[in-house]
């Protein structure tokens, strides 16, 4: 699970900071503060992670995977996955129908992706569309693994391919391909050290492809954006054009330093409130870097900030220490729990379900500083895998 982030780190942090040196375009005091916040946060996170991992794993006896026979539980996985895969595909298709457009084929694809301008849709339509979308992101890796562990289940592979295609045309690169990447990663990890090493190379390659995704599908034209590039390292600038975490975060810190808007923790729960709530993390970050503008009209889904920065804008240095320690502590406990049950299950299919639970549910606990309403559909779906709930 940790290695899945290596490709992202290379694209989003190593290239901009080490090769392109994007930080040189910002004031020294902004860069120094940003670096110090990340440094202190990293130390606190590692201490929390190690402390949490030392705790004995919780052995809960009323979870389905903890008391059902392995073969019985695998049959349950197959049944639940098939039902939700069908629900997700129908819901996503119906969502596109209600919207009246598909982002990848819209006149302004990026605005369509974020439902901005003429592409705004009623709230109930976005609920159907997004709920189905996040159901598919949750189910896809499990569906692929159902087929991989039982080649007779070809409909699951077909369903997974349809799901990936439906998500791809939404232009949400990460969620669209994360299920496929996760399934491939699990398969390669279960084989041997050589395939695991090849996996690392593959992950970096997949993230390189993902970074130029908009150029590949024609949403962005190189000629339209090349004028904004410096004349050095053009290849790396194209690669990093779709993942601008360093520049986004430094821009945010620069604006924040000029006019601090402390959240006092209000963004922790802000993402759970529907609509364009002021303290929704996405809306908050857009308001900071676009002072005086209406964030709901901006063609963006918000800025992606790391835990140390969220801690800082919430409670200054105290927030950096507490947010990062707690994030690491929760992650350590939940990783220990996941590791225990994966080894106990001795099944690739059950391990996939456990890993999806870790990524979709447990990650929300360790990333408590940016709770999102979009985590509810995966939580609902995975509840059927964890508890004995029947779909009539």
pLDDT at 88: 94
What percentage of the chain exceeds 90 in pLDDT? 43
Tens of pLDDT, residue by residue over 189-241, are: 888 788 888 888 888 777 777 777 666 655 555 555 555 556 666 777 777 77
Output 229 or 67, whichever has higher pLDDT: 67
Tens of pLDDT, residue by residue over 140-154, are: 999 999 999 988 889
pLDDT of residue 86 exceeding 90, the answer is: yes
pLDDT at 277: 86
Q: Among 60, 75, 76, 84, which Cα is nearest to 388's?
A: 76
Residue 133 lies in a domain: yes
45-59, 68-82, 167-181, 310-324: which has the minimum mean pLDDT?
167-181
Q: How does residue 390 score in pLDDT terms, banded at 50, 70 and 90?
A: low
* CA–CA gap between residue 292 and residue 297 (Å, rounded): 12
Highest mean pLDDT among 5-9, 173-177, 229-233, 250-254: 250-254
Residue 88 lies in a domain: yes
**Are 353 and 65 within 8 A, CB to CB?**
yes
Determine the straight-line distance between the first and last CA of the chain, rounded to whole angstroms: 34
pLDDT at 221: 56
Residue 172 lies in a domain: yes
pLDDT at 143: 95
Number of residues written out for the chain: 392
148-162, 206-220, 359-373: which has the minimum mean pLDDT?
206-220
pLDDT at 222: 55
Tens of pLDDT, residue by residue over 126-142, are: 889 989 999 999 999 99
Residue 392 lies in a domain: no
pLDDT at 224: 55
* CA–CA gap between residue 382 and residue 17 (Å, rounded): 38
Q: Which structure tokens are listed for 381?
A: 């779906």
pLDDT of residue 391 exceeding 80, the answer is: no
46-50, 55-59, 84-88: which has the minimum mean pLDDT?
55-59
Q: How does residue 11 score in pLDDT terms, banded at 50, 70 and 90?
A: confident
Residue 357 lies in a domain: yes
Q: Which domain holds residue 310?
A: 3-386
Residue 391 lies in a domain: no
pLDDT at 190: 82
pLDDT of residue 74 exceeding 80, the answer is: yes
User: How many domains are contained in the chain?
Assistant: 1
Over residues 151-168, mean pLDDT: 92
pLDDT at 97: 94
Output 2 or 308, whichever has higher pLDDT: 308
Burial class (CB in 10 A: 0-12, 13-18, 19+), 36: middle
Q: Provide the whole-model pTM.
A: 0.85
pLDDT at 48: 97
Tens of pLDDT, residue by residue over 88-113, are: 999 999 999 999 999 988 888 888 88
pLDDT at 243: 72
Output 185 or 388, whichever has higher pLDDT: 185
**Are 368 and 268 within 8 A, CB to CB?**
yes
pLDDT at 329: 96
Q: Among 339, 374, 358, 367, which Cα is nearest to 53's?
A: 339
């Amino acid at each position: 699970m940790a290695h899945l982030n290596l490709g992202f780190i290379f694209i989003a942090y190593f290239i901009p900071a080490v090769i392109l040196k994007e930080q040189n375009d910002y004031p020294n005091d902004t860069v120094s503060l940003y670096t110090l916040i990340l440094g202190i946060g990293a130390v606190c996170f590692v201490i929390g992670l190690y402390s949490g991992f030392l705790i004995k794993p919780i052995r809960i006896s009323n979870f389905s995977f903890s008391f059902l026979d392995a073969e019985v539980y695998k049959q349950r996985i197959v049944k639940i996955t098939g039902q939700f895969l069908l629900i997700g595909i129908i819901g996503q298709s119906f969502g596109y129908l209600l919207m009246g457009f598909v982002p990848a084929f819209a006149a302004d694809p990026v605005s369509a992706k974020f439902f901005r301008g003429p592409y705004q849709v009623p709230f109930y339509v976005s609920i159907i569309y997004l709920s189905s979308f996040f159901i598919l992101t949750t189910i896809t890796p499990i569906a692929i693994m159902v087929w991989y562990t039982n080649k007779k289940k070809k409909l699951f592979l077909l369903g997974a391919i349809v799901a990936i295609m439906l998500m791809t045309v939404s232009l949400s690169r990460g969620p669209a391909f994360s299920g496929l990447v996760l399934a491939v990663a699990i398969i390669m990890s279960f084989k041997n050290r050589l395939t695991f090493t090849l996996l690392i190379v593959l992950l970096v390659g997949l993230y390189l492809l993902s970074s130029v995704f908009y150029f590949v599908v024609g949403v962005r034209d190189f000629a339209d954006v090349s004028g904004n590039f410096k004349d050095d390292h053009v290849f790396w600038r194209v690669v990093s054009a779709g993942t601008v975490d360093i520049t986004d975060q430094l821009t945010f810190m620069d604006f924040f330093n000029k006019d601090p808007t402390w959240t006092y923790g209000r963004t922790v729960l802000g993402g759970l409130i529907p609509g364009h709530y002021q303290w929704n993390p996405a809306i908050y970050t857009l308001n900071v870097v676009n002072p005086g503008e209406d964030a709901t009209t901006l063609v963006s889904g918000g800025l992606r900030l790391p835990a140390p920065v969220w801690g800082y804008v919430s409670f200054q240095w105290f927030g950096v220490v507490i947010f990062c320690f707690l994030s690491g502590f929760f992650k350590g406990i939940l990783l220990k729990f996941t590791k225990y049950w994966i080894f106990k299950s001795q099944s690739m299919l059950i391990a996939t379900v456990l890993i999806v639970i870790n990524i979709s549910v447990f990650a929300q606990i360790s990333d408590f500083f940016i709770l999102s309403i979009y985590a509810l559909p995966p939580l609902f779906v995975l509840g059927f895998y964890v508890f004995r709930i029947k779909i009539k």
